[in-house]
Structure 1
Amino acid sequence: MALRFGADVSTAATDYGTVLLDQRTGQYWELNPTATLVIETLMAGGDEEAATTALMREYDVPQSQARNDVNTLVQDLRASGLAT
């Protein structure tokens, strides 16, 4: 499923990944390069399986670890209200 950030969430690329700002609360989230790859894949219309494949290809991690990382990130972003 594609990922979308809420209208009150700003993103900025950094040398170390991506920073998210929740303008409703003023809270910042810093995403490492691995998480950045996941959100870029999902925001481009890819599903969680595509994000898992991207992690496996880029970082040479086992499928189970990549899938778990993708699922955890997506759940955290949705639970925080940053993403739908």
Structure 2
Amino acid sequence: MALRFGANVSAAETDYGTVLLDERVGTYWELNPTATLVVKMLMAGRDEADAVTAITDEFDIDLAQARQDVDALVRQLRTSGLAT
């Protein structure tokens, strides 16, 4: 499912991933390179299965762990109000 950041969220890529700023409360979130890849794919309209495949291809992670990590990341971004 596609992912979109809220209007009050700013994102900046760094050498180590991505930093998100929730401007509503002034909280920073740091995404590691794996999470950055997942977010980029989902924001480009790809689905979670595509993101799982991408991180298993790019990083040393097994399929079951990749699924758990993608699900957890998406859930956390949504419950925190950073993404819809």
Question: Does the TM-score normalized on the shorter chain lie above 0.5?
Answer: yes
Runs of 4+ aligned structure 1 residues displaced above 3 Å come to none
Contiguous gaps of at least 5 residues in structure 2: none
SS at match of 2:45: coil
Amino acid at match of 1:68: Q
Alignment deviations for residues 9-50 of structure 1 (CA, whole Å, 9 cap, x no partner): 000000110000000000000000010000001001100000
Aligned partner letter, 2:31: L
Superposition RMSD on alpha carbons, in Å? 0.6
Q: Is residue 82 of structure 2 the alignment partner of residue 82 of structure 1?
A: yes
For normalisation by structure 1, the TM-score amounts to: 0.98
* Structure 1 unaligned spans of 5+: none
- 1:19 lines up with 2:24 in the alignment: no
**Which shows bigger deviation, 68-77 or 58-67?**
58-67
Question: What is the CA distance between 1:60 and its match in structure 2?
Answer: 3.2
Identity of paired residues, percent?
Answer: 68
Partner of 1:81, secondary structure, is coil
What does 1:38-49 correspond to in 2, within 5 Å? 38-49=38-49
Instruction: Supply the AA of the counterpart residue of 1:54.
Output: A
State the AA in 2 paired with 1:6.
Answer: G
| SS at 1:69 equivalent | helix
- The amino acid that maps onto 1:22 is D
